Chain A
């Protein structure tokens, strides 16, 4: 038994930007995961004698100011960036989605309160949250995750609430209530599956934003700390040497751009796919 009817599945694969974005994102993710098991050179080993080499068969992307292999650094950095952004998305979604659903389900004072908290969090961009957290607990990748994650909460809450509100008035939710289902059961069986696509789209977009945010935080020293590395941290190191060797700044920068573009393409493609107008057309065709 399939979840989706067949025609939708074919369209899914036909969308070019979705296909390109999804494939590229997966490639970067794969590169990141490979770095757990294997990198060309260990990045903990400093070899100042081999610093700032140009790309060569031994070092495909050259070496940095400490003689570390840039390709290895990029692989490890990609993993860190993904992990930080993904955990931040998970924090945002796991807290934000239930909050949004609760706001939609209960309405009244509960909704008012959740919306105000939401507005409030919007007033603190991730960076300000990060500054506060860092001042208290000191800089680290974990704190960067938490800061970006907190900032993600209102985003997911809003998406979930919006989706749930538009579904709440639909009669099948009423029918489920008549069948004696409670709000949690209804959310699980009727609301979540139907807003899952919206949430996935948002998660893709927030993942891209998270990678950018991690880069910013690490760049100003509030995120990932050495000896671990991330794409943002590589840029921080590169700033000093950018005049001598611009490729130290270009390579991680372009990597960030490529990852973010790939994720955004996938997100945009997915959203086009799920655009209600397009879907309605598909639905009408299915019924005919």
Chain B
């Protein structure tokens, strides 16, 4: 198991390095000189050259790349040249919004999606199953930002229960901070919950038809006992894969939802950086997103191996 984890971890590190290289290269070939962008069209060539040197833009690409990577290891992400602050500090400030938002959304989507999927599978063919699956079909089709707009209209504008947007820092008022994340995480979670419900149902229905469920029943279990004791764990395998992938969508989704609710998270930071052409900020934020996604996939792999002995066994006969 440890070796399995170590192998996967090396894979993760390699992927991350490639991701960093591609991001760096993509942004490095960007037409337009950041120094000129900062100083404006009327700047003298001398001033531009001076700023380039100050920003370290005149060094060879390879040197700058490894400088960037090496810096990230010690928490130095460089200096944002539009905001004049260390990028690490900017990103860290935003994670207080984005991480809770993602985690709450993940918990919501699993907490809603999985039970619905199990219920529908156990009552396959019933009215409840049909109804739940129609809801899931709709849930999958709803754009999360649009759903967010509706939530604001209903709960903030009409009912005035929750704030329509913005964010109160955790240090100021934790309850208000939490309250401002409720609607955004629901908007993020709902489509994902619908997907999970569908995957869970399919997986469980497949498992119900499997030979080992038949064996378990032949041993003296009823169908529902057999499904609970032997089916659910097997059905979790495909669900785990989807959970891992979903995290990627959730991370990406925060970028959108933070826009709907005017949340000062990582997503908004990226947008501001794009419009300001703040390359250093963009590339570091993108790498943080990619790290989150790849890291989750790594955890998914571990969880998968923990559930499935076929993956961690040495004898693969």
Contact = CB atoms under 8 A, between A and B. Distances in A.
Chains A, B in direct contact (C-beta < 8 Å):
yes
A235 B145 contact: yes
B20 to A, nearest CB: 12
Q: Is the interface of B mostly helix, strand, loop or mixed?
A: helix
Interface string B14-29: 0100110001001101
B17 to A, nearest CB: 11
B259 interface: yes
Given A127-B255, A135-B274, A216 B248 contact: no
B304 to A, nearest CB: 14
Most chain A CB within 10 A, of B26, B149, B282, is at B149
Interface string B273-317: 010010100100010011001100100000000000000000000
A232 B138 CA distance: 18
B143 A124 contact: no
A127 B256 contact: yes
Nearest to B289: A128
A135 B209 CA distance: 50
B30 interface: yes
B27 A242 contact: no
Q: Is the interface of A mostly helix, strand, loop or mixed?
A: helix
Contacts of B138: 257, 261
A131 B274 contact: yes
Contacts of B146: 215, 235, 249, 253, 256
Most chain A CB within 10 A, of B19, B141, B255, is at B141
A120 B18 contact: yes
B203 to A, nearest CB: 14
Interface in A177-232: 208, 212, 215-216, 219-220, 232
Contacts of B297: 119, 122-123
Interface in A91-121: 116, 119-120
A220 B286 contact: no
A46 interface: no
Contacts of B245: 122
A239 interface: yes
B293 A127 contact: no
Contact of B153 (A212, A243, A261): A243
B149 A242 contact: yes
B39 interface: no
B260 interface: yes
A235 B145 CA distance: 9
Contacts of A277: 209
A208 B137 CA distance: 12
Nearest to A265: B137
A143 interface: no
A127 B252 contact: yes
Contacts of A128: 252, 286, 289-290
Contacts of B1: none
B254 to A, nearest CB: 10
A162 B26 CA distance: 31
Contacts of B30: 135-136
Given A239-B149, A243-B157, A123 B142 contact: no
B15 A120 contact: yes
Contact of B249 (A125, A131, A208): A125
Given A132-B27, A136-B27, 19 more contacts: A120-B15, A123-B15, A123-B248, A123-B293, A125-B248, A125-B252, A131-B255, A131-B270, A132-B23, A134-B274, A135-B30, A135-B274, A220-B255, A239-B149, A243-B157, A246-B153, A253-B149, A264-B137, A264-B141
8 contacts: A123-B293, A126-B252, A136-B27, A216-B143, A216-B145, A219-B259, A242-B149, A249-B150
Q: Which 8 A-B pairs have the closest CB atoms?
A: A260-B141, A125-B252, A127-B252, A253-B146, A257-B141, A261-B141, A123-B293, A215-B143
Interface of B: 15, 18-19, 23, 26-27, 29-31, 137-138, 140-146, 149-150, 152-153, 157, 209, 245, 248-249, 251-253, 255-256, 259-260, 270-271, 274, 277, 279, 282, 286, 289-290, 293-294, 297
